Amino acid sequence: MVFIFDFDGTLADSHECSLLATRKAYFDLDLTVPNDDTIIYYMGIPIEKSFQAMAIEPLNDTDLDELITLFRILYKEYEQQYIHVYEGIPEVLATLSKLDACYVASSKHSIALLRNLESIGIRHYFSDVIGADMVAEHKPNPESILLLQARHRFPLERAVMIGDAIFDLQMGKAAGVKTCAVTWGSHSLESLLAEEPTYLMNDVHDLLTLRTMNG
């Protein structure tokens, strides 16, 4: 089997880090600070898109670059304290990675993604990692999954995209792989179910059952 994981809200709880860094970046630049629900909703897509979508004031390219640069500085300051691997994830990955290929496809820049995977101690479980800067089109576009498939030549019908946001599920569907929604992250159960995922998991340890389900 091939397991493709989202990062934020799926492998790690980074909500507080994102909230703090986003709020302060908007505030420091005298922009209207988005509410928490809006920030959490957009965590599944790259900040190059989400920050423009969340802004009340119009942002030109210079404004957006300044906002993104400040956010990344703040995020790096906060991440050691506020990003935590979900309980049970290391044990699940240890089991899955012994027998199956495990990858990450994230909307986070690859530099931050690799840094975060290392800091929470799970980087070594993954054979490859795709960040937002490594593709031209982002979630829900399937390019990240198709890039992994091109690199590693796995059958798409043997792969499952695992994520906490509708964007992950939409990407998986567009790529022609199975999808697994997890309920411990950003998006509501109702919104996840509306995407008709192949599987729905309410507990981290339930991810181990995907091997049996997929044969």
The string of pLDDT tens digits covering residues 58-91 is 999 999 999 999 999 999 999 999 999 999 999 9
For 88-132, write each residue's pLDDT tens digit. Answer: 999 999 999 998 999 999 999 999 999 999 999 999 999 999 999
Q: What percent of the chain has pLDDT over 90?
A: 93
Q: What are the residues whose beta carbons fall under 8 Å from the beta carbon of 21, sequence distance 6 or more?
A: 71, 74, 75, 77, 78
pLDDT at 2: 97
- Give strand pairing partners of 128: 103
Distance CA 168, CA 210 (A): 17
7-11, 46-50, 202-206: segment of lowest average pLDDT: 46-50
Q: Are 114 and 122 in contact (CB under 8 A)?
A: no
CATH 3.40.50.1000 fits 2-13+84-214, yes or no: yes
This prediction's pTM: 0.92
Q: Is 200 helix (H, G, I), strand (E, B) or coil?
A: strand
* Average pLDDT value over all residues in the chain: 95
* Gap between the Cα atoms of 215 and 204, Å rounded: 19
Alpha carbon distances (Å) from 86 to 25, 45, 93? 26, 20, 11
Specify the pLDDT at position 214.
57
**2-13+84-214 with 15-82: one CATH topology?**
no
**Which CATH number does 15-82 carry?**
1.10.150
Looking at residues 9-20, what average pLDDT do you find? 96
Task: DSSP letter for 186, please.
Answer: S
Sequence ranges of the domains in the chain = 2-13+84-214, 15-82
